[in-house]
Structure 1
Amino acid sequence: MKKMLLASVFILLFFGCSDSSKDAQYIVDKSIKAHGFDNLKGKQIHFQFRDYAYEIKRGSFGFEYARKRILTDSLQNSKQLRDYILNGRFTRKIDKETIALADSISTKYYRSVNSVAYFFQLPYGLNDSAVEKEYIGVINIENQPYYALKVTFNEVGGGEDFEDEFRYYIHLKTFKLGYLSYRYFTDEGGVRFRKASAEKYVDSMLFLDYQNYKAPITTDLDSLPYYFHLQKLSPLSRIENENIQVFELE
């Protein structure tokens, strides 16, 4: 009985609305503004994530995501590895030499760079043209109210991961992103739930770190907040972005 009551709080608190796409757009726009990302165009952002230094640029040319690291061989000779995506096209360079890659390898590196950039910029990417967003209702997580949004992607413009599905939980009053969950199908697939674990303000922009959890691949996305409350999700990793710097694009 207790579990049934909890389920009703976390799952059945969702309610319908007359125009879910319109409400979802309003919530996303408010969230982007709350994070200070409404002025992201014309910016260059640097940050460190694990072994790579990342750069994000947005301007009149479009966008560029890049990561780089120093490679050192046994003789202590050093070279710079740089992976970058320019308006959807991936390139790898070592020093100034462009490296030819098999399509499968190029796709793998593309996904890796794009994934880090996507999560780092949230909720900005929720206004991409390929995004289909739907307002589900309001849900209570850790005694706080959140708008729940369902996000899917059009096959046209949605990239090779267009089948992925997301839930975003945006605070009812502050419009800050608090939690998210998603189902992905690459590399045998998986289900993840993330909690924003730290807020970092840089140049009036709000960036988030996350605690990452995993769930069985068959888990329904809308059930994840309930299982999180019951501490039934397995901690997987911490997503921590360091040394964040924001510059005007030259």
Structure 2
Amino acid sequence: MKYLYLILFGLMLFNCKEERKPVSLSADEIITKSIEKAGGKIFDNSVIRFNFRDKYYVARRDNGQFSLIRMFKVGNDSVFDLLTNSNFDRFINNSRVILEDSLKAKFSASVNSVHYFSVLPYGLNAEAVNKTLLGEESIKGKDYYKIKVTFNPEGGGEDYEDVFVYWIDKEDFNVDYLAYSYNEEDGVGMRFREAHNERYIRGLRFVDYNNYKTDAGSIELFDLGKTFDKNGLKLLSKIELETIEVELLNQ
């Protein structure tokens, strides 16, 4: 009788294990978890200030309204760029400059790009963003969700045709790597970025990036992770945010 109980107990354990199916997450769910890990809704009501290369940036986000600022010097002139929900303006020495539409679009995209990368993955749940789970992939011995991101023409910005790939850690949901293709005036190309120097400031995650390129024209965007894993990419530059300050609004 004792052995019968042991057998029944063993069968119960086996059935419990069989019922534990792997959790299947969608691309939207993975991105949402990643945004939450990076600070989530704290970004929605914040002022973030930082230096990047020779320019100073300020991002104010307040319940859907945003002001993205870039300030720098050209010779003896002070340039102040302001991108909001509705417009872009440039001021030189405190005087507003009248710009052609093409220049407005170019400067606007330039300002937005730096602010966009500074707070990733925040922003990837916007309505104009399309996310597709490509599967899973291992890089440097760690397992990642691999997600393709594209943008709709409406609301997707000047560079809506760019394609991104994000590698999100399966354990902690951090974005450790990303890649993107671009088509600009100075050419077509791809970049692969490796996140490092992670730090949290007032609950918000910031990272720097090692920026890589490939000289092999035959490599596809979606294969850059495998190429990096085999040390097949060349370090092009460093993307480093300095003197970051965070102010939380409505606290």
TM-score by length of 2: 0.84
Percent identity of paired positions between Structure 1 and Structure 2: 40
Aligned to 1:151: 149
Deviation of 1:201 after TM superposition, in Å, equals 1.4
* Distance in 2 (alpha carbons) for counterparts of 1:96 and 1:205: 32
Structure 2 unmatched ranges of 5 or more: 1-23
Match of 2:56 among 49, 53, 56: 53
Matching of residues 74-153 of structure 1 within 5 Å: 79-153=77-151
1:102 Cα deviation from its structure 2 partner: 2.3
* Separation in 1, partners of 2:141, 2:135: 16
**Secondary structure in structure 2 of the residue aligned to 1:45:** strand
Structure 1 unaligned spans of 5+: 1-19, 74-78
Moved more, 190-199 or 85-94: 85-94
Structure 1 runs (4+) greater than 6 angstroms displaced: none
What is the deviation of 1:72?
A: 4.4
- AA at the equivalent of 1:225: G
Residue 12 of structure 1 is matched in structure 2 by: none
Q: Which of 42, 47, 61 lines up with 1:44 in the alignment? A: 47
What is the deviation of 1:61? Answer: 5.7
Deviates more, 1:114-123 or 1:152-161: 152-161
Shift of 1:217: 5.2
Supply the distance in 1 between the matched residues of 2:68 and 2:219 (Cα, whole angstroms). Answer: 32
Aligned to 1:33: 36
How far the C-alpha of 1:57 sits from its partner, in A, is: 0.9
Structure 2 match to 1:222 = 222
One-letter amino acid of the counterpart of residue 193, structure 1: F
Q: Does the CA-based 8 Å contact 1:211-1:238 persist in structure 2?
A: yes
Taking structure 1 as reference, are residues 168 and 61 closer, same or farther at Cα in structure 2, changes over 3 Å only? closer
Cα distance in 2 between the residues matched to 1:52 and 1:34:
28
* Aligned partners of 2:59 and 2:69 also within 8 Å: yes
What is the letter of the counterpart of residue 145 of structure 2?
Y
Aligned length: 225
Where 2:173 maps in the other structure, the secondary structure is coil
Superposed displacement of residue 232, structure 1: 1.6
Q: CA deviation at 1:66?
A: 0.6
Partner of 2:177: 179
TM-score (norm 1): 0.85
Q: CA deviation at 1:39?
A: 1.7
Classify the secondary structure of the residue corresponding to 1:98. Answer: strand
Residue of structure 2 in register with 1:169 after alignment = 167
Letter in 2 for 1:55: V
Which residue identity does 1:200 align to in structure 2? R
Q: Over residues 2-33 of structure 1, what are the superposed CA-to-partner deviations in whole Å (9 max), with x where a residue is unaligned?
A: xxxxxxxxxxxxxxxxxx9x711111111011
Instruction: Please state whether the residue corresponding to 2:184 is helix, strand or coil.
Output: coil
Secondary structure in 2 matching 1:185: strand
Give a deviation string over 1:51-71, Cα, whole Å, max 9, x none: 111001111361111111244
Show the counterpart of 1:238: 238
Give the number of the structure with larger relative contact order, counting CA–CA contacts within 8 Å between residues 6 or more apart: 1
Give how far 1:185 is off: 1.1
